[in-house]
Structure 1
Amino acid sequence: MPGEFHEILVKLIQDEPASVPWMLALAGGPRGAKCVKAETRSGAVGSSGPTERRADGVVRLGFADGAELIVVCEVQNEWSEDKYHRLPGYLTHAFEDHRVPVVLLMLCRTDALARRFRRGIAMGPGSTVAVATVGPGNMPDLGADEAPPNAAAAVAAAVMRRQPKTIPTELFVSTLDRWLGTIEPGRAADYARFLLTTLAKEPATLLEALMKTEARLYHSEYTEELLTKGRDEGAVRHARTTLLLMLESDGEVPAERRAEIEACEDLTRLDAWIVERVRSAKGRHWHS
């Protein structure tokens, strides 16, 4: 299964493909490129096949001298022999479709995985496909000199790095918070929720404390979502208790029925069961 690390990085590339030239440069690729066009997994290389056989993203870059480059982006959690042998096909399809030079950019969860892909893909005697790879060690600390170009790149750096190596944690977190404050609050709150479960303990704790200050718009959005979630969970608990008390007034509730009610998270369904119980009780009262 791809996992959350994979999904959040794919989303970041899709949200702001302009971060790809920066990531490619971190992998030792050419600098000075700009994103010209991007494709997501819904229309990427090998689009005639099933989704799981497509690249995570395809970004077309342009350079000042008029040259262009296709970057096939892949996010990888762990080593996969199957993926290793499928990757050359992604490049072949992209080259056939676009007729411009193609490079494979791998974003790897660990530095060990990045080193393994950096060896390239052996196609046969004297034939190896080069792979541009980025691991956590390639990502600069947020707040250091090498600043990311946009918020998605900043979040990607934080996701891959998890905690700062060269600067104080407070600076790392305050820089991340500042980047999140530059984008639409709902999207920033979505990123923040993931970061709180991804960052190491100290930066996650600091980020959560910052978000409770409501100094930025996305802080308020995050706090409101927490309050709404809390209210919804409270309503569900209340509905469960009410329904069980009503059923217990008729006698012992069968264990299977009790387990079904206690496991239900759907407030609409619980309310429907309560209404059904009320109507049943009224019917019995009418006939008595």
Structure 2
Amino acid sequence: MPGEFHEILVKLIQDEPASVPWMLALAGGPRGARWVLAETRSGAVGSPGPTERGADAVVRLGFADGSESLVVCVVQHEWSEDEYHRLPGYVARAFEDHRIPVVPLMLCRTDALARRFRRGISTGPDSILAVATVGPANMPDLGSDEAPPNAAAAVAAAVMRRQPKTIPTELFVSTLDRWLGTIEPGRAAGYATFLLTTLAKEPASLLEALMKTEARRYHSEYTEELLARGREEGRGEGAVRHARATLLRMLEADGEVGDQRRAEVAACADLGRLDAWITDRIRPAKG
């Protein structure tokens, strides 16, 4: 879903701002930069004031010659006229606040979208704002020679690529699994949960099979999360069953319960409504 794609890419940048120089290089930008400072508040454009206006993150980069630049990051799922017209505003505000060169970097869900934004944004006669764009085709296959700099970048590549184009799927997935094994297990398990729903069918199935081996710490963490979720769901279902039984006993104590009423109670899975019905039966008894 669009929201999920946006959410995971923004989270990956927040978790590892050092992935941004790598992404910028994939878009044809300078290589060899290092991140100096990151502003990763939702909607940030680096300004300390309340006028950020919607960019997803801002990362300040430093270069070997001592120069710096600012990268305004935007994650985009589909074409948006609003975003097309807002982007120059993000750049202008960041340039005004920081007085250093600013580059807009757009991470696009599709290559067609990346090509469209790559044409730049016309801001007036003979004036085009260049946009560095990364689409799925710009991302290397995990396991190829172009290794990402960190686990967040590896997950971003997998999210955007969805399946390998130049290497065997097994190598793609095993490389992703190794990267996930290098970070805190809880964070890795969270990434894995998303990956299982966004990767293409074959790599998703292979990753899920790998995690069942529990060979890495995050595999066990993922399994524990699933078990905990199942226990929580089980407790909720148990509470609903108990409430149904209680209500039926109360109704039966007042006389015969009709088939329609019995079916209504049996079909209700809303614990709040069942509790309300039970409360309604108790109030007359107290009166």
TM-score w.r.t. structure 2 length?
0.89
Alignment of 1:44-83 (within 5 A): 44-45=44-45, 48-49=49-50, 53-83=53-83
Report 1:148-227 matches (<5 A). 148-227=148-227
Contact 1:41–1:55 under 8 Å retained in 2:
no
SS of corresponding position for 1:17:
coil
State the partner residue of 2:101. 101
- CA distance in 2: counterparts of 1:10 and 1:19, whole angstroms: 12
1:209-248 alignment, distance < 5 Å:
209-248=209-248
1:100 match: secondary structure: coil
8 Å Cα contact 2:43/2:56 also seen in 1: no
Shift of 1:246: 1.5
- Most deviating of 255-264 and 227-236: 255-264
Are positions 1:262 and 2:263 aligned together? no
Gaps of at least 5 residues in structure 1 are: none
8 Å contact kept, 2:151–2:182: yes
Relative distance call for 1:259 and 1:14 in structure 2 (3 A) is farther
- The aligned counterpart of 1:112 is 112
2:248 and 2:262 in contact (8 A); partners too: no
Q: Is the 8 A contact 2:106 2:132 kept in 1?
A: yes
Aligned length: 277
Give the letter for the 2:269 counterpart: E
TM-fit CA distance, 1:162: 0.1
Q: Which residue of 1 aligns with 2:123?
A: 123
* 3-state SS, counterpart of residue 262 of structure 1: coil
Taking the aligned partners of 2:75 and 2:48, their CA distance within structure 1 comes to 18
In structure 1, C-alpha distance between the alignment counterparts of 2:100 and 2:262, rounded to whole Å: 66
Moved over 6 A (4+): none
In the superposition, relative to structure 1, how do residues 94 and 255 fare at CA in structure 2: closer, same or farther (>3 Å)?
farther
Instruction: Indicate how the Cα distance of structure 1 residues 43 and 199 shifts in structure 2: closer, same or farther if over 3 A, else same.
Output: closer
1:40 Cα deviation after fit: 1.1
Q: CA deviation at 1:260?
A: 9.2
With normalisation by structure 1, the TM-score equals: 0.89
1:141 is aligned to 141
How big is the shift at 1:258? 3.7
Q: Which amino acid aligns with 1:182?
A: T
Please give the per-residue CA displacement for 1:170-205, whole angstroms capped at 9, x wherever unaligned. Answer: 000000000000000000000000000000000000
Identity value in percent: 73
Distance 1:28 1:237, change over 3 A: same
SS at match of 2:269: helix
Task: Give 2:233's aligned amino acid.
Answer: E
